[in-house]
Amino acid sequence: MTEISTGKVTMKEKIILTAFTDPMMGLSYESEPIMKRLKQNYGNQIEFRYVMSLLVRDVSDFMTQEERIMDAESGIRKYCERLAGIYKSEESIGGLPINMEGFCLFDTGHRSSKPLNLAYKAAQLADPERSEAFLTELRHATVIDCLPTTHFDVIMKIAQKVGIDEYSFKLYYQNGNAAKALETDLEYTHRLGIHSLPAYLIQSGDKAIIMQSFEYQDFVDVITKLTH
């Protein structure tokens, strides 16, 4: 392949950076400055992809024994309060503000982050060009606006906000296609042995490295290793 100059960075192979994440993740939100900087410095030489890895299949998996023995509504509310504290503690990682006032992502009728994961897959199917913007807006609605993004009506408003066709989005979300696409993502996550999120698969040609970091230079070092 002909060597390509991107202005600030020169490399021989195109890079594919796949992020394994969940739209509810504060850590992915705090990593946005790193991703933005990579886009600025590497330009079109990096292709960004997103794999949904379903962080919370059911809140009971993360609740303490004390929270589990309470009635469901009280236990989940207490869990959400504890989760809000975890989110706030992540502010220092990327320096981005996290608002947890009135945080109510989960309730007795919405016990999983699966709706958010399905929503991204539906957005990919309905409008691939707007799917990344949708993912960002969905994440911000969760972490900044503190909206109950597990609720479908809230998800639909975000799809409308980024200009995704409402009919197509709803069709893919409800007809099983988004669910099949999500299952493919989950199988891929499992096959690579990824258990902690967010994780990143960086590929160049036939070489690949899986990494986790919140430092820009670590990404540069991996890219350099793969392309030189």
pLDDT confidence of residue 11? 52
Q: Using the predicted structure, report yes or no on whether residue 75 has a pLDDT greater than 60.
A: yes
Q: Using the predicted structure, report yes or no on whether residue 207 has a pLDDT greater than 80.
A: yes
Tokens in use for 67? Answer: 């929270």
Cβ 138 vs Cβ 100: under 8 Å: no
Element (H, E) at 17: strand 15-21
pLDDT confidence of residue 10? 46
Give the distance, in angstroms, between the CA of residue 66 and the centroid of all CA atoms in the same chain: 29
If you average pLDDT over residues 3-29, what whole number do you get? 75
Per-residue pLDDT tens digits for 102-144: 999 999 999 999 999 999 999 999 999 999 999 999 999 999 9
Q: Which residues pair with 200 in a beta bridge?
A: 19, 211
44: three-class secondary structure by DSSP: helix
Mean pLDDT taken over the chain: 93
pLDDT confidence of residue 8? 43
Q: Using the predicted structure, report yes or no on whether residue 4 has a pLDDT greater than 60.
A: no
204: three-class secondary structure by DSSP: strand
In terms of Cβ atoms closer than 10 Å to its own Cβ (0-12, 13-18, 19+), residue 158 is buried
Neighbours of 138 (CB within 10 A): 25
pLDDT confidence of residue 228? 83
Q: How far apart are CA 39 and CA 148, in angstroms?
A: 30
Matching residue, tokens 């009971």? 60
